[in-house]
């Protein structure tokens, strides 16, 4: 083959790398082109340089890092890459007629530290999970030095124990699948249960980031007063999460809120028989704190209970906004004043149109975590500021 033919082949290969499947990275390219750099974005970009600099102020070298994205949440991946000041790696992900997933990486990853951003979230939880597994396998077979899976939303996390006979512990099985494919490290955000970190072996560390740190400034700007603010958990299992949220609200924003808890009794999954409130919320502004919102049945029933007990305003915060089934219509017609979620899961069209739902970006937090992991710095220091 002549040198001219080789040049043409390489050019064609580079162009092929701009798309994921039929349209995914083409969508990524269009999405990136549509972003305008406002003054706010410029100031944010300047602040990013703080954690991209070493202790002596010199810029950190990211040449050994490559960031790739699956198709589950391209806007978030694009934002993370923008904060890092790198381009998303070129690859092609396509779905064949029989439903199989095909992956082709269009650049050299040998000896590189690879970061794969792919939440295993709905819609298409199983497709997104298989895509992540194949991406890890592809990078391992291509001789990547180290592979870190950044999983903002960890699918199957609620199936973390045996509640009855003859059922799988699916969260543990997903962890074993990822380990078998050769992942070296996992970064997740607000796992449903912290013990899921232990489902990975000691050679595969799992960082569980706290998404609430990006939401606290929003709630601090709502003119909340210590004497009439309550942070509430919608179930007994989330009391620790609510207490942690309350402590951070006090430490970083000076709002010394009280704590309440709702005890729910379920008939079956996504069906609640009754609720009991522990604590006094009369005349108070209440923030319901949970890790995720699925069909919003628990959330809206909890809000009704709080209003019935005299709450003045009811807000809700959850890291992961799934909004499945009737969730959006339930929230729209509920007693909740506002629901705040992170962008770990892409919002549906209905959720975007709901004026009670506000989405906050977690891209900067994830990019800072990636930098700290890459340069072997403390990740927990992100949450001790």
**Tens-place pLDDT, residues 305-321:** 999 999 999 999 999 99
Strand partners, 313: 285
Residue 342 has pLDDT above 70, yes or no: yes
Q: Phi/psi class of residue 28: alpha, beta or left (left: φ > 0; alpha: ψ in -120 to 50)?
A: alpha
Q: Yes or no: say if 341 and 318 are a contact pair by the CB < 8 Å rule.
A: yes
Distance of alpha carbon 310 from alpha carbon 315, whole angstroms:
14
Q: What six digits make up the tokens of 49?
A: 């340089």
Residue 49 has pLDDT above 50, yes or no: no
Distance of alpha carbon 63 from alpha carbon 112, whole angstroms:
9
Residue 156 has pLDDT above 70, yes or no: yes
338 band by pLDDT with thresholds 50, 70 and 90: very high
Q: What is the pLDDT of residue 271?
A: 61
> How many Cα atoms are found within 13 Å in the side-chain-facing hemisphere of 316?
29
59 band by pLDDT with thresholds 50, 70 and 90: low
Q: Which residue has the tokens 């994921």?
A: 20
* Maximum average pLDDT range among 40-44, 276-280, 324-328: 324-328
246 band by pLDDT with thresholds 50, 70 and 90: very high
66-105 per-position pLDDT tens digit: 999 999 999 999 999 999 999 999 999 999 999 999 999 9
Percent of the chain beyond pLDDT 90?
76
Select which of 82, 90, 112, 264 is catalytic: 264
Residue 293 has pLDDT above 50, yes or no: yes
| 264 in active site | yes
Q: What is the pLDDT of residue 215?
A: 96
DSSP SS3 for 101: strand
**Which residues have C-beta within 8 Å of that of residue 244, sequence separation ≥ 6?**
210, 212
DSSP SS3 for 176: helix
The CA distances from residue 165 to 168, 169, 199, in Å, are 9, 11, 20
Q: Yes or no: say if 152 and 119 are a contact pair by the CB < 8 Å rule.
A: yes
Residue 273 has pLDDT above 80, yes or no: no
Q: What is the pLDDT of residue 42?
A: 45
Q: Yes or no: say if 339 and 312 are a contact pair by the CB < 8 Å rule.
A: no
State mean pLDDT over 142-163. Answer: 97
How long a stretch of residues is the chain?
Answer: 385
DSSP SS3 for 146: strand
Please give the DSSP secondary-structure letter assigned to residue 53: B
Q: Which of 6-10, 155-159, 201-205 has the lowest mean pLDDT?
A: 6-10
Strand partners, 338: 315
What's the chain's Rg over C-alpha atoms?
A: 22
Q: Yes or no: say if 333 and 304 are a contact pair by the CB < 8 Å rule.
A: no
Concatenated DSSP letters of 203-261:
TS-EEEE-GGGGTHHHHHTT---GGGEEEEESSGGGHHHHHHHHHHHHHHH----EEEE
The CA distances from residue 243 to 247, 265, 339, 348, in Å, are 6, 21, 19, 30
To the nearest whole number, what is the mean pLDDT of the chain?
87
Residue 2 has pLDDT above 80, yes or no: no
Percent of the chain beyond pLDDT 70?
82
Which has the higher per-residue pLDDT, 264 or 360?
360
Q: What is the pTM of this model?
A: 0.85
235 band by pLDDT with thresholds 50, 70 and 90: confident
Q: Yes or no: say if 342 and 323 are a contact pair by the CB < 8 Å rule.
A: no
Closest CA to 67 of 125, 144, 15: 144
191-229 per-position pLDDT tens digit: 999 999 999 999 999 999 999 999 999 999 998 999 999
């Amino acid at each position: 083959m002549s040198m001219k033919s080789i040049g043409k082949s390489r050019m064609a290969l580079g162009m092929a790398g701009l798309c994921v499947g039929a349209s995914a990275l083409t969508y990524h390219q269009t999405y990136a082109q549509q972003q305008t750099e406002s003054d706010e974005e410029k100031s944010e970009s300047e602040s990013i340089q703080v954690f991209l600099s070493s202790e002596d102020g010199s810029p950190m070298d990211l040449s050994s890092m490559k960031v790739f994205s699956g198709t589950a949440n391209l806007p978030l991946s694009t934002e993370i890459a923008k904060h890092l000041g790198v381009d998303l790696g070129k690859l092609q992900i396509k779905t064949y007629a029989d439903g199989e997933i095909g992956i082709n990486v269009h650049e050299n990853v040998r000896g590189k530290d690879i970061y794969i951003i792919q939440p295993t979230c709905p819609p298409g939880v199983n497709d997104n999970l298989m895509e992540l597994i194949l991406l890890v396998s592809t990078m391992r077979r291509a001789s990547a030095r180290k592979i870190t899976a950044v999983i903002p939303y960890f699918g199957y996390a609620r199936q973390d124990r045996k509640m009855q006979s003859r059922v799988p512990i699916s969260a543990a099985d997903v962890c074993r699948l990822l380990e078998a494919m050769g992942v070296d490290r996992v970064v997740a955000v607000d796992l449903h249960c912290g013990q899921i970190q232990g489902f990975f072996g000691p050679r595969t560390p799992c960082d569980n980031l706290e998404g609430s740190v990006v939401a606290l400034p929003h709630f601090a700007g709502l003119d909340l007063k210590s004497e009439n603010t309550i942070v509430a958990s919608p179930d007994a299992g989330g009391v620790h999460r609510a207490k942690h949220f309350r402590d951070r609200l006090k430490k970083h924003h000076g709002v010394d809120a009280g704590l309440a808890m709702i005890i729910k009794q379920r008939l079956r999954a996504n069906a609640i028989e009754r609720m009991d409130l522990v604590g006094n919320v009369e005349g108070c502004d209440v923030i319901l704190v949970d890790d995720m919102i699925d069909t919003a049945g628990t959330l809206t029933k909890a809000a009704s209970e709080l209003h019935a007990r005299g709450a003045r305003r009811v807000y809700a915060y959850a890291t992961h906004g799934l909004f499945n089934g009737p969730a959006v219509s339930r929230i729209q017609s509920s007693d909740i004043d506002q629901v705040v979620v992170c962008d770990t899961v892409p919002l549906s069209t209905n959720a975007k149109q709901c004026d009670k739902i506000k989405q906050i970006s977690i891209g900067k937090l994830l990019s800072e975590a990636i930098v700290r992991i890459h340069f072997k710095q403390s990740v927990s220091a992100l949450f001790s500021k």
